[in-house]
Structure 1
Amino acid sequence: MLKKLFTPYSIGNCLIPNRLVVTAMVTNYNNSDGTATERYIAYHEAKARGGWGLIITEDYSVNEQAMGYKYIAGLWNDSQIASHKAFTDRIHQYESKVFCQIYHAGRQSHAGVNGGVQPVAPSAIPCPWCRDLPRELTIPEIKKIVQDFGDTALRAQKAGFDGIEIHGGHGYLIAEFMSPYANKRIDEYGGNLLNRLRIVKEIIDDIRTKVGPDFPVIMRFSADEVIPGGRDMSETRIIVQFLEKWGLDGLHISSGVYGNHGIAAPMHIPHAWIVQYAEEVKKLVKIPIITVNRINDPFMADNIIAMDKADFVGMGRGSLADPDLPNKAKEGDFESIRYCIGCLQGCTGALASKGTETSVHCLVNPTLGQEYKIDYSKVPVAKKVFVAGGGPGGMEAARAAALKGHEVHLYESNDQLGGQFRSAAYPPFKGELATFTVWQIRELNKLGVNIHLTTTLTADIVKQEKPDAVIVATGATPIMPRIPGIDSPNVFNAQDVLLGKVATGNNIIVAGGGMVGAETAAHLALQQKKVCVVDMLPEIAGDLDGVSREQLLKLLDEYRVEQITNAKVYEICTQGVLLDKHGIITLHPADTVVIALGSRKNDKLYEELEEFTGKKMVIGDAVLPRQAIEAIFEGFEAGLNI
């Protein structure tokens, strides 16, 4: 069924073996001096081994003060070349080509990661995320940065890269100069469009002077910055024609800047949502076009190319989730692909919430960033391993143990696997979560894991069967606090409501406005029910990353979900709920009350195994209720290291 995906296509004089591109994503896997680590090399090598046609590295800093993250790569001096030559040599063991993305972070940086200096920008306007006040660049400083780009490109060429990608998007320095949103200059680098593009032409010219006319050079930029006052397609249509005229070999069409949802769209955003930008650009130029953003399926990618909307499809997060996606698709083994679910928990969301020193992980792929040290060799003597709990953490533990050659038995008290990840797929936009559960179950069956449904693992079973190891992944149970009336027949926990185990009325109060409560409220509101969500904190869904929270709050507003903050449930009565807000008790009518007030760990089995002499481990929410990414990673580590 795939028509175009695995046909070769050239960028300049570089023949790319297929149309699948790994787009640049910050991983923070390098040394702080910009040199490549074995972790960084092995991470990319997994993608080359997996069959990606073109790998574009994360942003290589053009000077020591140009960094936006602490552990990104750099080629600002000759001493850095050797480690990156070792990197490209590893990639070139395979058919994949590799381009070096070069950039200057501009105002999207801070003193803690860029050598301790004040960030620089076209104008002294802070980045909405990083927030350090930048210093306006002088013209001599601009000229020096132009030279830095050319020098970095030359070093990349010497390091064995197959081409260069200039990062002119996502609100970094070049994008700042191009955009009236960030550039308020009144000299030759500001004002009208050609002035704002001046630095781009100078950089292209400087690079060409140093690497020659035949070395592929492309540029990534935001066709629409999706922010008030930013650039949109009206200027992009003009810009792309200049970029082709100035000698670029390809264009990589993205969107967004720091401070909006246009860079890494969460699951709330439609698939392939900016492909129309690439399609429009492709009509205006003859050079190859790369499209990107929320494309995670090879059939989807193939259709885009077959319909002539783009020449290449970038799957950044798709390559994080499964570096072997191209090889699996080429072989027709689509069911074994581990698809990106758009959760952002380990990639963009982690970088945004945990800081510029955080390294990237992946919820569905716990091996990400660990490629350099994982040993999949079979154990010399297989052990009998029991896993208690069939949620995502327990299933991952069972899968990893089976990969090592152990005899694995997975016990689940319910009649289906999935744990809380099953109910997590029910709220609006989150249906893709089920794809990971389906993938895990398929892998367990393929590996011959013995699955015992409707069977709770007990200390007695362990004593009778005498396994060598027990992994406790029994998760957490919903908290039902001692609120008067909580035992009423019209009071349910959020998980049962989401799974359709209970029927609700039409006038509902959700007690608890964290992620679970807010998403449950949205789920019920889409059923045309009147919903009110209540929380003691001053904001709703405060435990979500900023991008996902923005989308969820929009949905709650669209479906008129009432949101009451700084209030707690005082009592549940027949007429509804008595709320206590600042000491004032008021009645809010309701015929159903849904409790989403968190959960507490369920480690009872672990405590009961006190006399068990084999190896025992506890993982995931049974340790402490957290996100699924922690449970999956801990499960993988436990299963791999029995």
Structure 2
Amino acid sequence: MSKHVLSPYKIGKMEIQNRFVMPGMGVNENGTVDEVSIAWYEARAKGGFGLIITEFFAVDALGKAVPGEVILDNDEIIPMLAKLPERIHNYGTKIFMQIHHAGRETNSYVIGAQPVSASAIPCPINRELPRELGTEEVYELIEKFGDAALRAKKAGFDGIEIHAGHGYLVTQFMSAYVNRRTDEFGGDITGRAKFGIEIVKNIKRKCGSDFPVCMRLSGDELVESGRKLNETAILTKLLEEAGVDVFNISIGVYATPQYMVAPYPASIGFNVNAAEAIKKAVHIPVIAVGRINDPVLMESVIEDGACDFVALGRTSIADAEFPNKVKEGRIDEISPCVGCNTRCQGKPGSDPKDSGISCAFNPFSGHETTLKILKSDSPKNVVVVGGGVGGLETAWVAAARGHSVTLLEKTDKLGGQIVYGCVPPNKVELSRAVKYYKTMCKKYGVKIKTNFEATKENVLEQNPDTVILATGAIPIQPNITNEGIPVVQALDILGGKVQAGNRVLVIGGGLVGLETAEFLTSQLRSATIVEMLDEVGNGIGDSTKYFILKSLKENNVEIITGAKVEKFTTNGAVCSTKEGKITLKDYDMVVLAMGTKSFNLLESEFEGQVKELYVIGDALPGKDKTISAAVDAGAKVALKL
């Protein structure tokens, strides 16, 4: 099934052992290449990736996009850099350094000066007016790119990637979206391409013709006057002639971030068509990227000739061993990337101070030096109460450490809130996490009992050394007067317990309320959302929120904010707003999505009855009720045992 994706392929004269590429992603926050970041990359090399591309390194101090970015502007940095490729090469993996200049995609507080760009046109997101680079300054920067590449080569890197996508400086020159120059670096396509072309030539002159140069490009910038795919195809021909050895085809700019790191509403492989178009335009390898998270998809796009390599960004965060698991036929053991954009985008797990890169379903990712599954010296009898994701994570990790683990779930299904969370449109991939947990629990011998409601008596009968309560949360049921309209919980609708009405009033504009409304419209029913706050989607990532609100707008869902329900009537509700009371009518059902509260009836029962007692996840009152927090807490408790 994976013949093509596991086969070797050449970039220039360099052979890569397979088609799996880990693309550049921001992981370092302290301006160095330290043991933490080396261990991060090494885990992916050990996991079987054929090519690793680092996060970006700035070619000069004005080129930093973020405060912690390493500046590659002097030879003194080479010994520090050399430690990284040395470790990566132990596994037969090749490693390219990504070099870049942010141009206008930064701020003065980051670089200590006014940002620069091809033209004095500010980024609509950063909104800081850049200074237009003079012609001589452009030539100086070309030299700096070449010098940075040479330092990477001296440090032992196998190649270089020029980041010319996502709206950074090289693409600011290449795109009419920014470039309004009238000198040799502006005007027509050839003029706009000259900066990038000269950078490639400079690198080849300084590093040698056999030193591979990759260029990351956005196939479509998705903005008015930005570069479209047909122009990118022309541009890649010019760049190939200049010496580029491989193209890495991404998408978007800072003004369209929802596509640069697309969440689950974007279909898997949504950007492969861009790579395919470039593949037809050039005679060198092409890397495809964009929610490529399934081994079957990877094999298919390479077999069909759409691309030569697949870049697994968040997928490599979710599971460092992805390639090896594919090679060994352990597909069900792959910790899945479901496009939730939580831990990988800096949201913390159970520790609010831990905002580094990680994965909601794999808290070990990004913590390679601190979180390790090691065999316990004193195996224990462990009972986990609750089969949600927090409980499942706790169970398999504890079992992997050699403990005897029994998991008790009172319903007939494992997964907790995910049972409902995978029902709305575009969220079926969430179910992959439950499938993964079942596989890991089975592998390590977790005894699972469903339809088993835990009590003090039946748990103590199992003589546990440790009891872990992962009993989750239940929906809030408000005390609101009701004159007769049917009122149900969102989980009743999503769980298939209640037939939805035709005109539904959804109370609550958080993630559950928005996605329930989206589900209702997919069933050709109408929905209106009422939210007490001044805006909906509180706590939802911007990219995810963009797609959900776009879907709701397209399906004519009315959203009423700043409205508190006073009472339910026979056909709607009366709400209070800043302007006064409003009456909503002509509805046949109310669906509540007003949040949850912890469900923990057993903690007091077990206090003093067992050697160790832990409460994790949503069962803890006042804690953030998120998947990532529950999973993170579960893993850390399992490591304590």
TM-score by length of 1: 0.95
Match of 2:196 in 1: 200
2:137 and 2:602 map into 1 onto residues whose CA distance is 64
Deviations 1:304-346 (A, max 9, x none): 1111111111111111111111111122222222221111112
* Equivalent runs, 1:571-590 vs 2, <5 Å: 571-581=567-577, 582-590=579-587
Q: How many Å apart are 1:572 and its aligned residue?
A: 1.1
Equivalent residues, number: 633
Deviations 1:395-447 (A, max 9, x none): 11111111111111212222211000110101110000000111101111111
User: Is it true that 1:6 corresponds to 2:6 in the alignment?
Assistant: yes
User: Is it true that 1:316 corresponds to 2:310 in the alignment?
Assistant: no
User: Is it true that 1:529 corresponds to 2:525 in the alignment?
Assistant: yes
Q: Which amino acid aligns with 1:120?
A: V
Consecutive unaligned residues in structure 2, runs of 5 or more: none
Q: How many Å apart are 1:463 and its aligned residue?
A: 4.7
1:602 and 1:316 map into 2 onto residues whose CA distance is 36
Q: Which amino acid aligns with 1:627?
A: T
User: Is it true that 1:413 corresponds to 2:413 in the alignment?
Assistant: no
Please tell me whether the aligned partners of residues 22 and 52 of structure 1 are also in contact (alpha carbons under 8 angstroms): yes
2:80 and 2:627 map into 1 onto residues whose CA distance is 35
Alpha-carbon distance change, 358 to 143 in structure 1, aligned in 2, over 3 angstroms: farther
User: Is it true that 1:632 corresponds to 2:628 in the alignment?
Assistant: no
Q: Which amino acid aligns with 2:531?
A: D
Match of 2:286 in 1: 289
Counterpart of 2:399 (choices 391, 397, 402) is 402
User: Is it true that 1:131 corresponds to 2:130 in the alignment?
Assistant: no
Percentage of identical aligned residues: 43
Please tell me whether the aligned partners of residues 542 and 549 of structure 1 are also in contact (alpha carbons under 8 angstroms): no
* Equivalent runs, 1:446-485 vs 2, <5 Å: 446-485=443-482
Q: How many Å apart are 1:495 and its aligned residue?
A: 1.2
Q: Which amino acid aligns with 1:605?
A: L
What is the SS of the residue equivalent to 2:482? coil
Q: How many Å apart are 1:350 and its aligned residue?
A: 4.6
Alpha-carbon distance change, 253 to 451 in structure 1, aligned in 2, over 3 angstroms: same
Counterpart of 2:439 (choices 437, 442, 446) is 442
Match of 1:22 in 2: 22
What is the SS of the residue equivalent to 2:602? helix
Q: Which range is displaced more, 156-165 or 406-415?
A: 406-415
Consecutive unaligned residues in structure 1, runs of 5 or more: none
Please tell me whether the aligned partners of residues 387 and 414 of structure 2 are also in contact (alpha carbons under 8 angstroms): yes
User: Is it true that 1:45 corresponds to 2:45 in the alignment?
Assistant: no
Q: Which amino acid aligns with 1:235?
A: E
What is the SS of the residue equivalent to 1:69? coil
What is the SS of the residue equivalent to 2:481? coil
Match of 2:566 in 1: 570
2:332 and 2:98 map into 1 onto residues whose CA distance is 32
Q: Which range is displaced more, 165-174 or 131-140?
A: 131-140
Please tell me whether the aligned partners of residues 599 and 625 of structure 1 are also in contact (alpha carbons under 8 angstroms): no
Match of 1:328 in 2: 325
1:144 and 1:335 map into 2 onto residues whose CA distance is 51
Q: Which amino acid aligns with 2:564?
A: K
Match of 2:364 in 1: 367
User: Is it true that 1:621 corresponds to 2:598 in the alignment?
Assistant: no
What is the SS of the residue equivalent to 2:480? coil
2:346 and 2:369 map into 1 onto residues whose CA distance is 24
1:573 and 1:444 map into 2 onto residues whose CA distance is 48
TM-score by length of 2: 0.95
Q: How many Å apart are 1:112 and its aligned residue?
A: 4.0
2:109 and 2:207 map into 1 onto residues whose CA distance is 33
Please tell me whether the aligned partners of residues 150 and 207 of structure 1 are also in contact (alpha carbons under 8 angstroms): yes
2:33 and 2:581 map into 1 onto residues whose CA distance is 60
Counterpart of 2:223 (choices 194, 214, 227) is 227
Q: How many Å apart are 1:464 and its aligned residue?
A: 4.6
2:143 and 2:355 map into 1 onto residues whose CA distance is 30
User: Is it true that 1:237 corresponds to 2:233 in the alignment?
Assistant: yes
* Equivalent runs, 1:266-277 vs 2, <5 Å: 266-277=263-274
Q: How many Å apart are 1:595 and its aligned residue?
A: 0.3
Match of 2:301 in 1: 304
Match of 1:102 in 2: 99
Please tell me whether the aligned partners of residues 264 and 348 of structure 1 are also in contact (alpha carbons under 8 angstroms): no
Q: Which amino acid aligns with 2:618?
A: D
Alpha-carbon distance change, 129 to 422 in structure 1, aligned in 2, over 3 angstroms: farther
Please tell me whether the aligned partners of residues 55 and 96 of structure 1 are also in contact (alpha carbons under 8 angstroms): yes
Please tell me whether the aligned partners of residues 28 and 358 of structure 1 are also in contact (alpha carbons under 8 angstroms): no
* Equivalent runs, 1:167-182 vs 2, <5 Å: 167-182=163-178
User: Is it true that 1:560 corresponds to 2:575 in the alignment?
Assistant: no
Q: How many Å apart are 1:541 and its aligned residue?
A: 2.0
2:487 and 2:338 map into 1 onto residues whose CA distance is 32
Please tell me whether the aligned partners of residues 75 and 152 of structure 1 are also in contact (alpha carbons under 8 angstroms): yes
Please tell me whether the aligned partners of residues 271 and 293 of structure 1 are also in contact (alpha carbons under 8 angstroms): yes
What is the SS of the residue equivalent to 1:397? helix
User: Is it true that 1:67 corresponds to 2:68 in the alignment?
Assistant: no
What is the SS of the residue equivalent to 2:428? coil
Deviations 1:485-505 (A, max 9, x none): 29x672111112101111122
Q: How many Å apart are 1:224 and its aligned residue?
A: 0.6
Q: Which amino acid aligns with 1:22?
A: M
Please tell me whether the aligned partners of residues 473 and 619 of structure 2 are also in contact (alpha carbons under 8 angstroms): yes
User: Is it true that 1:520 corresponds to 2:516 in the alignment?
Assistant: yes
Q: Which range is displaced more, 616-625 or 163-172?
A: 616-625
1:63 and 1:641 map into 2 onto residues whose CA distance is 45
Match of 1:503 in 2: 499
2:118 and 2:606 map into 1 onto residues whose CA distance is 63
Deviations 1:149-192 (A, max 9, x none): 11110111011111111110011111111111122333332332
RMSD: 2.0
Alpha-carbon distance change, 234 to 465 in structure 1, aligned in 2, over 3 angstroms: closer
Deviations 1:65-87 (A, max 9, x none): 32212334443222222222111
Deviations 1:111-147 (A, max 9, x none): 3433x33322223333333333333323333233222
Alpha-carbon distance change, 87 to 340 in structure 1, aligned in 2, over 3 angstroms: same
Q: How many Å apart are 1:465 and its aligned residue?
A: 4.1
1:118 and 1:608 map into 2 onto residues whose CA distance is 62
Alpha-carbon distance change, 407 to 456 in structure 1, aligned in 2, over 3 angstroms: same
Q: Which range is displaced more, 12-21 or 622-631?
A: 622-631
Please tell me whether the aligned partners of residues 607 and 613 of structure 2 are also in contact (alpha carbons under 8 angstroms): no
Please tell me whether the aligned partners of residues 475 and 625 of structure 1 are also in contact (alpha carbons under 8 angstroms): no
User: Is it true that 1:152 corresponds to 2:153 in the alignment?
Assistant: no
Deviations 1:493-537 (A, max 9, x none): 111210111112211100001111010001011111121111112
Match of 1:431 in 2: 428
Q: Which amino acid aligns with 1:567?
A: A
2:53 and 2:303 map into 1 onto residues whose CA distance is 23
Please tell me whether the aligned partners of residues 225 and 262 of structure 1 are also in contact (alpha carbons under 8 angstroms): no
What is the SS of the residue equivalent to 1:262? helix
Alpha-carbon distance change, 130 to 630 in structure 1, aligned in 2, over 3 angstroms: farther
2:230 and 2:374 map into 1 onto residues whose CA distance is 56
Match of 1:604 in 2: 601
Alpha-carbon distance change, 632 to 112 in structure 1, aligned in 2, over 3 angstroms: farther
Q: Which amino acid aligns with 2:18?
A: N
Counterpart of 1:543 (choices 520, 534, 539) is 539
Q: How many Å apart are 1:270 and its aligned residue?
A: 1.6
2:357 and 2:69 map into 1 onto residues whose CA distance is 12
2:526 and 2:293 map into 1 onto residues whose CA distance is 35
What is the SS of the residue equivalent to 1:101? strand
Please tell me whether the aligned partners of residues 464 and 610 of structure 2 are also in contact (alpha carbons under 8 angstroms): no
Alpha-carbon distance change, 447 to 88 in structure 1, aligned in 2, over 3 angstroms: same
Q: How many Å apart are 1:613 and its aligned residue?
A: 5.3
